[in-house]
């Protein structure tokens, strides 16, 4: 198992953001995470990436306990993430963004020797161009990130998250802010890029069609915990999921189900 | 910066050093102070690129200057190279220590905290009567590997010293701008979250920038102390720090050379203004800054970047 989570919980005062989360993710699996706003999806991702410290429970990554470690340390161990709002460097070009990402991601970000080594090493430039190729954004290579279309910006964010060869990638709503027509195209590019690197992927998504098409397994969150876990066909057919998340059954039916 | 820029830079420094004896003495003295201060400005540019404006860089400037003055007062050491090295070390150690605090802050909080720290040193110096309080005290003339120049020759020797150290600093800092830390200045300004999730400690990155800029300010202060042969608490006062910020705006953060051109322009404008309108010279300085902000928002440095650019290389469209 690349990721094992046991009894994970997070409370903010009297508010319970996550509770009783226990699950295992085998290597190279693609997991779709669904749930309404406030269901605990992002809290879950933030705990794994060290952005939030769990109140209770343990997180094992490749059999190593990473519970409560700072995000920098977790990143260097091999877990990377993209963001709901793409986090790129707006005043650098696409190529410069990727150079910066690959220059620092491979190195110990705190070491003086790493910080004082040249940025534009041949390896860095090569890696940046490989990422541009992989994500098919060559036509935007020298465009400032601040002027990119939303879809390309999201791709760049994910490409930067892949710098430094992580083994587990967490994508927080990779298609949010992208038009319905573009969504599938963007996800095709992302998923084929991630598959080619044999990455384990957890992605948060609201569009059930995208989840059905790209996820091998679905985690359905409701009220801070996982209410369904299984292949898309099974998890999405769960009556509680249909009522509480996908909205294919009217509210109320769940009580009688 | 490519090899050609380094050669042009080296030739420029050599040419200035060669023509120095032909220049009027007042201009040599002015340029000595201007280039010593340019080293401080170079340190400001490093922080400026990361979106940080230190309003108290006088702290390190005064530390470097007082370190030189104290050593030359209480020991027999007179060699300028040893003294400048001690000034750099003192300021660097101080920057390293207060960096643990200062590197946590950004924007106006960084600016004000740095100002507050420099004013603490100012207060201490003003209250220390053994160091001459507000009057400060004199610095003995330095020696150059045993050579003791006097009069005009001392001025030229100091000018060559400042010029040589400026050339070394300019070369090292332009190398630094190509390293991971140097290039990551804009990303620090742009997006700290992304950097943290790439595994970089932004605070440690800023700490490193603080130490480098502190050392540069210490060298600048040490050289100024030797050149003026006097130190006083005004070197730590906020108007001194404000002057460095002023020159940074005038020069622009675009290139290493800009710091030297900008600092020289500042000292020239100031001394001409004082000559022409002794009572109201600040109006002329203020006007110069206003015109720079209006017409050259990226500073004097952007002028020769425009000249260097060929038509095939359009200007990067940066806001």
Write the pLDDT tens digit of every residue in B239-278: 999 999 989 988 888 888 889 989 999 999 888 888 888 8
Q: Which residues of B touch A103 (CB under 8 A)?
A: 180, 183
Q: How far is CA A159 from the centre of its chain?
A: 12
The structural domain count of chain B equals 1
B201: Cβ–Cβ under 8 A, 6 or more apart, which residues? A72, A109, A110
Q: Which of A73, A115, A154, A164 to mutate to test the interface with B (most CBs of B within 10 A)?
A: A115
Judged by a CB distance cut-off of 8 A, whether residue A29 touches chain B is no
Q: Dump pLDDT digits (tens) for A24-50.
A: 888 888 898 888 888 888 888 889 988
Whether the per-residue pLDDT at A254 is higher than 60: the answer is no
To which H or E segment does residue A65 belong? strand A64-65
Judging by DSSP bridges, how do beta strands A168-171 and A79-82 pair with one another? parallel
What pLDDT is stored for residue B317 in this prediction?
44
Per-residue pLDDT at A238: 80
Q: How many CA atoms lie within 13 A of A82 on its CB side?
A: 29
pLDDT per residue over B151-169, tens digit each?
A: 888 888 899 999 999 999 9
Q: What is the pLDDT of residue A255?
A: 45
A77-90 average pLDDT score: 85
Dihedral sign, Cα of residue A206, residue A209, residue A214, residue A219: positive
Q: pLDDT tier at B219 (50, 70, 90 boundaries)? A: very high
User: Would the pLDDT of A242 be above 70?
Assistant: yes
Distance separating alpha carbons of residues B165 and B171, to the nearest angstrom:
10
ipTM of the complex: 0.74
Does residue B182 fall inside a structural domain?
A: yes
Question: Does residue A52 contact residue B154 with C-beta atoms inside 8 Å?
Answer: no
Mean pLDDT of all residues in A120-139: 82
- From the list A91, A107, A109, the residue facing B318 with the nearest CB is A91
pLDDT of residue A107: 59
Q: What is the pLDDT of residue B222?
A: 95
Residue B64: the pLDDT is: 95
B interface residues, A as partner, C-beta within 8 Å? 176, 178-184, 186-187, 189-191, 193-201, 204-205, 208, 317-319
How much is the average pLDDT of B192-214?
A: 85
A164 contacts B204? CB cut-off 8 A:
no
Least confident of B57-66, B256-265, B308-317: B308-317
Do the beta carbons of residue A157 and residue B192 sit within 8 Å?
no
Q: Compute the distance between CA of residue A33 and CA of residue B140 in angstroms, rounded to an integer.
A: 73
Least confident of A110-124, B42-56, B246-260: A110-124
Residue B146 maps to a domain: yes
| pLDDT score, position B189 | 75
In the predicted structure, residue B36 carries a pLDDT above the cut 80: yes
Of A72, A89, A146, the CB nearest to B199: A72
pLDDT, position B263: 92
Domain span at residue B132 reads 3-238
Cα separations (Å) of B89 from A252, B69, B85, B86, B212? 73, 14, 6, 5, 11
3-state secondary structure of A4: strand
- Answer whether B184 sits within 8 Å of A163, measured CB to CB: no
pLDDT in the model for residue A257: 39
The string of pLDDT tens digits covering residues A214-226 is: 888 988 888 888 8
* pLDDT bracket for residue A249 (50, 70, 90): low
For an interface test with B, the pick among A91, A164, A172 (most B C-beta atoms closer than 10 Å) comes out as A91
Average pLDDT of the residues of chain A: 83
Predicted confidence at residue B85, as pLDDT, reads 94
Strand-pair category, A200-204 with A15-25: unpaired
Would you state the pLDDT for residue A253? 47
Q: What is the pLDDT of residue B319?
A: 38
Mutate to test the interface with B, among A79, A95, A109 (most CBs of B within 10 A): A109
Chain A: closest CA distance from residue B138 (Å): 39
Domain boundaries of chain A, sorted by first residue: 3-86+161-256
Q: Which fold has domain A3-86+161-256?
A: Rossmann fold (3.40.50)
In a 10 Å sphere around its CB, with 0-12 CB exposed, 13-18 middle and 19+ buried, how is residue A196 labelled? exposed
Interchain proximity A91–B181, CB inside 8 Å: no
- Spatial CA neighbour of B102 closest among B184, B203, B217, B181: B203
CA distance A226 to B41: 56
Answer yes or no: is pLDDT of B301 > 80.
no
Judged against a pLDDT cut of 60, whether residue A150 lies above it is answered with: yes
Query: Which stretches of B20-149 are DSSP H helices?
Result: 25-49, 58-74, 80-102, 107-127
Q: Are A85 and A153 in contact (CB under 8 A)?
A: no
Longest pairwise C-alpha distance within chain B: 62
């Amino acid at each position: 198992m690349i990721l094992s989570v046991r009894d994970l919980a997070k409370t903010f005062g009297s508010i319970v953001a996550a509770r009783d989360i226990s699950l295992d993710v085998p290597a190279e699996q693609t997991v779709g995470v669904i749930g309404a706003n406030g269901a605990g999806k992002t809290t879950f991702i933030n705990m794994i990436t060290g952005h939030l410290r769990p109140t209770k429970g343990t997180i094992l990554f490749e059999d190593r306990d990473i519970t409560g470690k700072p995000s920098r340390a977790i990143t260097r161990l091999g877990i990377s993430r993209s963001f709901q709002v793409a986090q790129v460097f707006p005043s650098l070009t696409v190529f410069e963004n990727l150079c910066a990402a690959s220059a620092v991601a491979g190195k110990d970000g705190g070491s003086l020797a790493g910080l004082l080594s040249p940025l534009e090493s041949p390896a860095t430039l090569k890696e940046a161009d490989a990422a541009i190729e992989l994500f098919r954004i060559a036509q935007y290579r020298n465009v400032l990130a601040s002027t990119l279309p939303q879809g390309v910006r999201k791709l760049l964010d994910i490409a930067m998250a892949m710098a430094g060869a992580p083994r587990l990638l967490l994508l927080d709503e990779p298609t949010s802010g992208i038009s319905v027509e573009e969504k599938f195209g963007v996800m095709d590019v992302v998923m084929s890029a991630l598959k080619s690197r044999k990455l384990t992927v957890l992605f948060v998504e609201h569009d059930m069609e995208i989840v059905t098409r790209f996820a091998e397994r679905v985690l359905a969150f409701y009220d801070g915990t996982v209410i369904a876990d299984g292949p898309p066909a099974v998890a999405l057919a769960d009556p509680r999921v249909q009522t509480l998340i996908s909205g294919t059954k009217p509210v109320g039916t769940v009580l009688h189900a | 910066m490519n090899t050609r820029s380094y050669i042009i830079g080296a030739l420029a420094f050599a040419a200035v050093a060669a023509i120095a004896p032909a220049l009027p003495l007042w201009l040599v003295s002015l340029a000595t102070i201007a280039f010593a201060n340019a080293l401080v400005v170079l340190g400001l540019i490093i922080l400026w690129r990361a979106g940080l404006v230190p309003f108290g860089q006088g702290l390190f400037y005064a530390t470097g200057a007082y370190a030189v003055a104290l050593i030359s007062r209480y020991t027999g050491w007179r060699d300028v190279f040893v003294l400048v090295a001690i000034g750099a070390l003192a300021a660097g150690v101080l920057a390293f220590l207060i960096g643990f605090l200062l590197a946590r802050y950004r924007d106006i909080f960084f600016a004000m905290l740095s100002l507050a720290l420099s004013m603490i040193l100012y207060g201490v110096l003003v209250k220390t009567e053994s160091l001459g309080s507000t009057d400060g005290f004199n610095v003995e003339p330095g020696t150059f590997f045993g050579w003791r120049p006097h009069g005009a020759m001392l001025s030229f020797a100091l000018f060559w010293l400042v010029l040589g150290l400026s050339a070394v600093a300019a070369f090292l800092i332009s190398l630094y701008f190509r390293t991971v830390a140097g290039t990551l200045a804009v990303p620090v300004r742009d997006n700290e979250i992304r950097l943290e999730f790439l595994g970089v400690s932004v605070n440690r990155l800023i700490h490193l920038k603080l130490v480098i800029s502190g050392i540069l300010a210490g060298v600048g202060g040490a050289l100024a102390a030797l050149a003026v042969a006097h130190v006083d608490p005004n070197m730590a006062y906020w108007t001194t720090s404000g002057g460095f910020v002023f020159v940074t705006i005038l020069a622009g953060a675009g290139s290493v050379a800009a710091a030297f051109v900008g600092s020289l322009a500042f000292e020239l404008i100031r001394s001409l203004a004082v000559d022409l309108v002794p009572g109201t010279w600040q109006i002329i300085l203020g006007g110069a800054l206003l015109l720079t902000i209006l017409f050259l928002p990226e500073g004097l440095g952007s002028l020769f970047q425009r000249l260097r650019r060929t038509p095939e290389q359009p200007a990067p469209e940066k806001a």
